[in-house]
């Protein structure tokens, strides 16, 4: 932020901050080293799909991006827990997975909303966490590994997570609605 400020002013931050410039660089190097370790710990996990932008995670307490796994050697996505290495805030499995999915799919979610399409991320009907991903490559909950959807038994249309009806899982939402009307009559 300081460097950006001096660039806006058209000044060289090294000239203006000569007395503290070495300290700023040391702090930056230390931050980058911790962030690299945090991202690396999350990349070790065998996620059900590709993950990215993990340097964009943000602590809910201090807004730091220094979020990593509590157990840095864990590779099992079902056992993932997290920690902010800035303030020490710990995150349960569902919370850290939700953060990872959010960072990975934020841009895709934005584009879908902008284009009037369904979001690639939804609330999982099984665990209730916003970690169900359906993006054309994967169709799975990153938190509990459940999958939903398939083909509608009545019309043969594909059932997406946004079309899934837990009361009638074999039908798309339209066919489930028709079925409920038939049953009521």
Per residue in 113-172, pLDDT (tens digit) is 999 998 999 999 889 999 999 988 888 999 999 888 778 888 888 888 888 877 888 888
Question: 131 near 94, Cβ under 8 Å?
Answer: yes
Q: Hey, which bits of the chain come out as E strands?
A: 67-69, 82-84, 90-91, 121-122, 132-134, 139-141, 150-151, 158-159
What is the 8-class DSSP label of residue 135? S
Retrieve residue 83's tokens. 């920690």
Residue 169 within any structural domain of the chain: no
Taking 80 as the threshold, does the pLDDT of residue 82 lie above it? Answer: yes
Residue 29 within any structural domain of the chain: yes
**Tens digit of each residue's pLDDT (9 = 90 or more) over 18-44:** 777 777 767 788 888 889 999 999 999
Residue 173 within any structural domain of the chain: no
Count of the separate structural domains present in the chain: 1
Domain residues for 96? 2-120
Residue 67 within any structural domain of the chain: yes
As a whole number, the mean pLDDT across the chain is 88
Residue 156 within any structural domain of the chain: no
What is the 8-class DSSP label of residue 107? H
Question: 136 near 108, Cβ under 8 Å?
Answer: no
Residue 88 within any structural domain of the chain: yes
Residue 137 within any structural domain of the chain: no
Alpha-carbon torsion (106, 94, 40, 86), positive or negative: positive
Question: 57 near 63, Cβ under 8 Å?
Answer: no
Instruction: Give the closest residue to 121 by CA, choosing from 185, 51, 27, 35.
Output: 51
Name which residue leads in pLDDT, 149 or 177: 177
Residue 161 within any structural domain of the chain: no
Please tell me the predicted confidence (pLDDT) of residue 83: 95
Question: 148 near 125, Cβ under 8 Å?
Answer: yes
The structure's pTM equals 0.77
């Amino acid at each position: 932020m300081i460097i950006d400020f001096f660039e806006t002013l058209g000044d060289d931050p090294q000239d203006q901050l000569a007395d503290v410039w070495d300290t700023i660089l040391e702090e930056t190097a230390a931050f980058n080293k911790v962030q690299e370790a945090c991202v690396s710990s999350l990349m070790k996990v065998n996620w059900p799909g590709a993950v990215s932008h993990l340097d964009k995670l943000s602590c809910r307490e201090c807004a730091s991006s220094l979020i990593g796994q509590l157990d840095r050697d864990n590779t099992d996505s079902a056992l993932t827990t997290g920690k902010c290495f800035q303030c020490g805030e710990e995150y349960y499995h569902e919370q850290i997975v939700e953060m990872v999915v959010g960072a990975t799919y934020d841009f895709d979610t934005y584009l879908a909303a902008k284009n009037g399409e369904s979001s690639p991320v939804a609330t999982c009907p099984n665990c209730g966490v916003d970690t169900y991903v359906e993006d054309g490559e994967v169709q799975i909950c990153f938190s509990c590994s459940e999958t939903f959807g398939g083909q509608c038994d009545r019309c043969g249309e594909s059932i997406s997570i946004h079309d899934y009806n837990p009361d009638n899982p074999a039908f798309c939402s339209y066919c489930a609605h028709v079925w409920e009307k038939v049953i009521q009559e």
